[in-house]
Amino acid sequence: MAPKVYVDGQSGTAGLRLMDYLKARDDLEILRIDEDQRRDARERARLINASDVTFLCLPDDASREAVAMLDNPNTTIIDASTAFRTNNDWAYGLPELTRGQREAIRGSRRIANPGCHASAFILLVRPLVEAGLLPASTPLSAFSLTGYSGGGKQMIADYESSSDPRLQSPRMYALGSMHKHLPEMTQHGHLEAAPVFTPVVGNFLKGLTVTVPLHLGQMARGVTPESVVSALKMHYRDEPFIRVMAFDDDATNLDQGFFDVQGCNDTNRADLFVFGNGERLTLMARLDNLGKGAAGAAVQCMNIALGLEESMGLTSGVDA
């Protein structure tokens, strides 16, 4: 019997992309809610409890309300909000995070899907902290350049229908250093303090790159750019969706001298880069903010939770 899957909040940006993934599968039974019942708590509760897996693509408070509707102990919840990402009773849905993370996801009925900025940041930082190359006490900064789809339906409409000239240039936001991804970036990055983080929206639909600048003096004694690359490769050596790119290889990593933020679009892949020299490094992680940064990661977690082939319905785009 095919697993039953329900998406609560399927009309939002993440929900729509998730439905694209699910509708392409013939091994799942998708439970659907009538349009006029989308806000009917009783019908939503019925579908949540009838499912094997429910995805919550809702604001934080609405996700908490949906979880409270659950009384079927066999239903797995994969929540895409920030509500549970630092809750130790929930498995953090980044299988590549650390040894044993897949087992934690497989053994949990509560999975918190990571944020897009957080995923890219953590993929860069966590391996270096674990390997002892980057002290957990290091004060870090980071910025993220992302497509406007991360802002949801209203932002997409603004960019695609407005003649406002301000939208033609990159726009920084969350300048009060209180971005909602900071708690998970700190906790799952194994850091002692939150980074100074600046996200930037660009005039393109999707694609995301987080950049972390470092002085080698901030790192352990004897660290080199090559040892950073080696640590990343060791951490992700068996990961089908993570590519660690060669150091100092502009022909591979750049396009006519420029970095392509959209180079992982339409894949579930994340590419990791190390640029720099013997004094300063620039670490960069690139992914599709609607793929590995959102819906693709959720499908990956669902496959693990259901005991299916992890890459089913996803593409690594390794030949892209």
Tens of pLDDT, residue by residue over 182-229, are 999 999 999 999 999 999 999 999 999 999 999 999 999 999 999 999
Same domain for 101 and 188, yes or no, is no
Closest CA to 9 of 300, 263, 294: 294
Domain count, the chain: 2
The alpha carbon of 196 is separated from its chain's Cα centroid by a whole number of angstroms, namely 19
Same domain for 216 and 168, yes or no, is yes
Q: At what angle do helices 225-235 and 116-130 cross, to 10 degrees?
A: 110
Q: Which residues lie below 8 Å from residue 9, measured CB to CB, with a gap of 6+?
A: 15, 55, 56, 57, 58, 62, 80
pLDDT digits (tens, 9 = 90+) for 114-134: 999 999 999 999 999 999 999
The reply to whether the predicted model has a pTM over 0.85 is yes
Same domain for 243 and 135, yes or no, is yes
Containing H/E element for 19?
A: helix 13-23
Whether 314 maps to a domain, the answer reads no
Same domain for 251 and 175, yes or no, is yes
Same domain for 61 and 128, yes or no, is no
Same domain for 149 and 282, yes or no, is yes
State the CATH number of the domain containing residue 124.
Answer: 3.30.360.10
> pLDDT band at 314, cuts 50/70/90?
very high
Same domain for 44 and 100, yes or no, is yes
Active site residue: 57, 116, 264, 301, which one?
Answer: 116
301 is known as an active-site residue: no
State the CATH number of the domain containing residue 72.
Answer: 3.40.50.720
pLDDT of residue 320: 41
Q: What is d(CA 252, CA 247) in angstroms, rounded to the nearest whole number?
A: 10
pLDDT digits (tens, 9 = 90+) for 8-58: 998 889 999 999 999 999 999 999 999 889 889 999 999 999 999 999 999
Domain enclosing residue 250, as ranges: 116-289
